[in-house]
Amino acid sequence: MPQGQPDAALGRARPTSKDVAQDAGVSQATVSLVLSGKGEGRISASTSEAVRRSAARLGYRPNLAARTLRAGRTRTGMLVVPALNSDFFARVHFGAAREAARHDFGLLLYPTHSTPPAPGATEPDTGGRVQDPLGSAGAALDGVIASSLTPGTLPALRSGTPVVMLDDDPALTGTAATVNLDIADGMRQAAEHLLALGHRRIGHVAAAIDSWTFRVRARALGRTLADGGAAQPPTASAPLNVPGGLRAATELLTSDPRPTALVCDDGFLAAGASKAAGRLGLRVPQDVSLTGVDGVTLATALEPELTTVDLPAEEFGAAGMRALLDVVDGRAPRPGVLPVSLAVRGSTGPAPD
C-alpha cells in the first residue's frame, strides 16, 4: 500500500515516485526518466511500460511545481493557430496534445484571431492584424508551436521564446525548428491526376493569403502543368471560405475558354466551386472536375465526394510537439517533411470532349 504524501484536495495520500518505483520493482531514477520522457534509448520498452502501468494503477501525478523549481522550466507550451473552426487545426491540436500528454507536458491553445469568423469563413477578416499570443504569459512558457502563421506576426520570435513553425518556410532564421507537410508533392499529385484524365485547361482557385504554403502550392501546380504540356493555369483568388470559392470559381467557369478542371487550395474553396458549377448548370465531374486540399469531413459531405490532397493533421501536430520537446530538453530537433496523399473520389473524371 503506498505511503505517499497527503493530498488535501482528495482527502487521501498522494502516491509518490517512490511508491511507483516499489510497485514496478525499479529505482526512482528509472521512474523519473520514464515519466519525464527522457528514458527513450536508455530504458527498455518493457520496463518503461511497467512503470507507466504502475503509475496509472496508483494514480500517480508528477509534482509539476517541484519539477519547475528544480529545472527552472514549466513544461508548458502553447500551440498558436489561425482559427478554431477548421477541422484541420482541430486535428493538429489533437495530435500535439496527445504527444504532449505522453511526456507530462502541458499545452495551451491560442487562436490568433479574437473575433469570430463570418458565416462560411475559415478565418475572420482582421485586416492583417494578429493578436499577441503571448502577452504576459510568455515568461511562463517553455516554447511555442505556431501553425500556418508568418514569422513577422509572431512576437515570440522576438522575445527569445523557442518557436517551432509548422507549415512554413524551412529557410526561416530565428526559429528553433520547422516541420512541414509535403504540400508541393500533394499539388503535383492532384495536377498529374487531372493530366492523366486528359485535362489540359485547368484553373486554380487560390487562397488570397500571402503565405509560404500557398505560394508553394501555386508554384508546384504551375510547374507540373508545364511539365505535362498544359498551359499555365488561369487563377482567381478568394478568402478561405465557401462564398469566396463560389465567386472565384464562377469567374473561372464563365471565362472563355472554360477550364475543364479546377484545382482548389482548400476544402472550403472547393465546396464553393462545387456550388458554382451547379448554379451554372455544369455537372461534376462530367463537365468540370474539382480537387481540393484536406477538409476531409467536408469532402465526404459533398455529392459527388471531393477528390482531395489528404493531410495527416494529427501526425503533423505530434511531429511539431516532438520537435518542441527536443528543443526544451536540449536535443537537436528532428527535421521532417510529412508525406501527403491524393484521395481520388467522385469529383474528378475524364476531360469532356
Q: Quick check: 305 pLDDT over 80?
A: yes
Supply the pLDDT for residue 114.
43
Q: How many Å apart are CA 57 and CA 98, to the nearest integer?
A: 20
Q: How many Å apart are CA 208 and CA 3, to the nearest integer?
A: 61
Supply the pLDDT for residue 17.
80
Q: How many Å apart are CA 143 and CA 95, to the nearest integer?
A: 17
At 124, is the secondary structure helix, strand, or coil? coil
Supply the pLDDT for residue 159.
61
Q: Which of the 8 DSSP states describes residue 153? A: G
Supply the pLDDT for residue 85.
74
Find out whether 81 and 93 touch, Cβ atoms under 8 Å: yes
Peptide bond just before 285 cis, omega within 30 deg: yes
Which residue bears the cell 487563377?
A: 235
Is the backbone of residue 98 left (phi > 0), alpha (psi -120 to 50) or beta?
A: alpha
pLDDT in tens, 181-211: 999 999 999 999 999 999 999 999 999 988 8
Supply the pLDDT for residue 126.
39
20: which residues sit within 8 A by CB, 6+ positions away?
Answer: 31, 35, 51, 54, 55, 58, 60
Q: How many Å apart are CA 294 and CA 95, to the nearest integer?
A: 16
pLDDT average, residue stretch 22-47: 82
Find out whether 292 and 240 touch, Cβ atoms under 8 Å: no
Ordered structural domains, the chain, with CATH: 5-62 (1.10.260.40), 74-179+315-329 (3.40.50.2300), 183-311 (3.40.50.2300)
242: confidence class by pLDDT, cuts 50, 70, 90: very high
Supply the pLDDT for residue 41.
73
Q: How many Å apart are CA 265 and CA 88, to the nearest integer?
A: 13
Which residue bears the cell 503533423?
A: 316
Supply the pLDDT for residue 133.
53
Find out whether 261 and 200 touch, Cβ atoms under 8 Å: no
Q: Quick check: 269 pLDDT over 90?
A: yes
At 295, is the secondary structure helix, strand, or coil? coil
Supply the pLDDT for residue 87.
85
